[in-house]
């Protein structure tokens, strides 16, 4: 057995699993599941299994993710709906599997890290091209649906997650452009530039507000960072003005975005005058958050339990919604979800698991990591991102990948200093 493990291609399977996680974000949940299982098994079917477990348990970020899984697990003691509790715990298994699996990933040099980012960038560009072609073929029909609050069809039928993936892909593309990345192909910089431009325009056409908002906030953060670090104050101010002009022009001249903003204005006007129509998308989000807050207020310390959060939300919808069009939803806010399901205790564990990797070892100085965490925090405010397989995979993949690159780079620099 030991002889077989010596020749087992662990690095190949680690790379294949990361590729599966990237491709799975826009192709298949089955691919995501298989990739997650593969990277975990790769750490176990390994000659260095003891070392892998030691690295896993010895990493504070991994321990916090384990603690987050334990929060879900322990709420089973006071959850009545055991079936739903088991389902929620199953959805959180990647919080154990991916950090363990990443212990087998080869040291991420600048080149290797940028190659993975480029794979992600081009996968998202390819997926966006397919979505764009479908939109153009059904131009009038889809624009009409947008005026009624219906989204443009997206990979895995998840337009919100896909919009976030596109927003981050734009940031990744800019990062790679600044690093002058290339796979070694001729005129590749033009392909990269065209991909950045296409995604920047298409995310407006796709017309999902969370993705557009996160992209613009990311742009503003990057411009301000450049403005202050390079002391390019005039250029930075001009860039911000150009960005504002681009945003206004996009709303005015891109039909799908214009239709979406008209619908948004229509809903906001109803909400302002007190007509909260639960059958409308924005109103449904607000209603679900209101109910989530109510549950949290009534169960402040430990929440109602992950297994019973759906049951408690169903009760409030049945009692208060008063509309046959309403479909019960979980709180459309990850922070409120944790407060309602696991109380202040679970919420604090969640916040530590998100913020610790960012602040520890001064990783916040890495612009790409900071922008990614910012994108996720914005997502958490409007969605229960981590209760969905795609959202969990996207979050953990780049949380761990970028963190590993920062840590490996620091370790290599320290080694070079030591032996200099």
- What is the mean pLDDT of the segment spanning 8-21? 90
pLDDT band at 19 (very low <50, low <70, confident <90, very high): very high
pLDDT tens sequence across 115-173: 999 999 999 999 999 999 999 999 888 888 777 768 889 999 999 999 999 999 999 99
- Calculate mean pLDDT across residues 399-409: 96
For residue 266, the enclosing domain spans 110-275
**In the numeric block, which tokens belong to residue 184?**
């070694």
Tell me the two tokens of residue 209: 């507000």
Structure tokens at 394: 């996207």
Instruction: Say what the pLDDT of residue 324 is.
Output: 54
User: In the prediction, which pLDDT does 270 show?
Assistant: 63
Q: Is residue 164 part of a domain?
A: yes
- Whether residue 32 lies inside any domain: the answer is no
The proportion of the chain whose per-residue pLDDT surpasses 90, expressed as a percent, equals 64
Q: What is the pLDDT of residue 3?
A: 60
Characterize 166-179 residue by residue with b for buried, 16 or more Cβ atoms within 10 angstroms of its Cβ, and e for exposed: bbbbbbbbbbbeee
236 three-class SS: helix
pLDDT at 46: 86
Q: How confident is the model at residue 269 (pLDDT cuts 50, 70, 90)?
A: low
Is residue 318 one of the residues assigned to a domain? no
Residue 60 dihedral angles phi and psi, to the nearest 5°: -60, -40
Q: What is the dihedral of CA 164, 167, 168, 169, to 10 degrees?
A: 120
Of the candidate ranges 124-138, 174-188, 315-329, 358-372, the one whose mean pLDDT is the lowest: 315-329
Q: What is the pLDDT of residue 246?
A: 80
Q: Are the CB atoms for 259 and 284 separated by under 8 Å?
A: no
Long-range contacts, 24-28 (Cβ 8 Å, 24+): 24/393, 25/123, 25/124, 25/155, 25/161, 25/165, 25/390, 25/393, 25/394, 25/397, 26/123, 26/124, 26/127, 26/155, 26/156, 26/162, 26/165, 27/155, 27/156, 28/156
Could you give the number of structural domains in the chain?
Answer: 1
CA separation for the pair 378, 227 (Å, rounded):
23
Contact (CB, 8 A) for 329 and 292: no
Question: Running DSSP on this structure, what letter comes out for residue 306?
Answer: T
Cβ neighbourhood burial of 253 (10 Å; 0-12, 13-18, 19+):
exposed
Q: Identify the DSSP state of 319.
A: I
Residue 17: inside a domain, yes or no? no
- Domain membership flag for residue 150: yes
At 331 the three-state DSSP class reads coil
Q: What is the rounded CA–CA span in Å between residue 95 and residue 231?
A: 41
Does any domain span residue 14?
no
- Position 187 confidence tier, pLDDT thresholds 50, 70, 90: confident
- Assigned domain for 151 exists: yes
Look over the chain and give the mean of its residue pLDDT values, rounded to a whole number: 88
20: in domain: no
Distance CA 331, CA 29 (A): 23
Asked if residue 159 lies in contact with residue 208, where contact means CB atoms within 8 angstroms, the answer is: yes
Q: For residues 281 and 212, what is the distance between their CA atoms, to the nearest angstrom?
A: 17
Confidence of residue 67 (pLDDT cuts 50, 70, 90): very high
pLDDT tens figures, 108-128:
999 999 999 999 999 999 999
Higher local confidence (pLDDT), 311 or 419? 311
């Amino acid at each position: 057995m030991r002889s077989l493990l010596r020749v087992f291609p662990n690095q190949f399977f680690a790379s294949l699993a990361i590729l599966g996680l990237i491709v799975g974000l826009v192709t298949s949940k089955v691919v995501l599941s298989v990739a997650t299982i593969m990277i975990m098994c790769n750490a176990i079917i390994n000659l260095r299994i003891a070392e892998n477990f030691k690295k896993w348990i010895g990493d504070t970020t991994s321990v916090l993710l384990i603690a987050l899984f334990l929060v879900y697990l322990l709420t089973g003691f006071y959850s009545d709906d055991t079936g739903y509790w088991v389902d929620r715990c199953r959805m959180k298994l990647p919080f154990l599997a991916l950090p363990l699996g990443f212990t087998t990933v080869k040291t991420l040099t600048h080149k290797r890290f940028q190659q993975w980012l480029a794979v992600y960038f081009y996968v998202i560009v390819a997926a966006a091209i397919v979505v764009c072609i479908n939109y153009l073929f059904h131009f009038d029909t889809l624009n009409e649906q947008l005026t009624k609050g219906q989204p443009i069809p997206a990979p895995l039928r998840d337009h919100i997650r896909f919009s976030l993936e596109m927003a981050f892909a734009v940031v990744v593309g800019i990062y790679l452009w600044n690093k002058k990345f290339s796979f070694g192909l001729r005129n590749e910089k033009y392909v990269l530039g065209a991909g950045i431009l296409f995604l920047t325009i298409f995310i407006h056409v796709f017309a999902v507000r969370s993705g557009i908002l996160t992209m613009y906030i990311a742009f503003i953060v990057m411009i301000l960072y450049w403005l202050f670090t390079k002391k390019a104050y005039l250029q930075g101010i001009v860039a911000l003005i150009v960005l504002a002009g681009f945003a206004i022009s996009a709303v005015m001249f891109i039909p799908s975005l214009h239709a979406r903003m008209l619908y948004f204005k229509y809903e906001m006007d109803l909400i302002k005058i007190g007509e909260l129509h639960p059958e409308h998308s924005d109103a449904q989000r607000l209603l679900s958050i209101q109910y989530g807050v109510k549950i949290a207020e009534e169960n402040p310390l430990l929440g109602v339990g992950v297994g019973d959060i759906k049951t408690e939300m169903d009760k409030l919808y049945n009692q208060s919604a008063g509309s046959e069009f309403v479909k019960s939803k979980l709180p459309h806010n990850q922070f409120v979800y944790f407060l309602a399901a696991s109380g202040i205790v679970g919420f604090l564990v969640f916040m530590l698991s998100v913020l610790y990797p960012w602040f520890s070892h001064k990783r916040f100085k890495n612009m790409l990591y900071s922008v990614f965490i910012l994108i996720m925090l914005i997502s958490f405010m409007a969605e229960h991102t981590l209760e969905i397989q795609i959202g969990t995979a996207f979050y953990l993949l780049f949380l761990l990948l970028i963190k590993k690159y920062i840590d490996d780079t620091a370790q290599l620099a320290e080694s070079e200093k030591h032996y200099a």
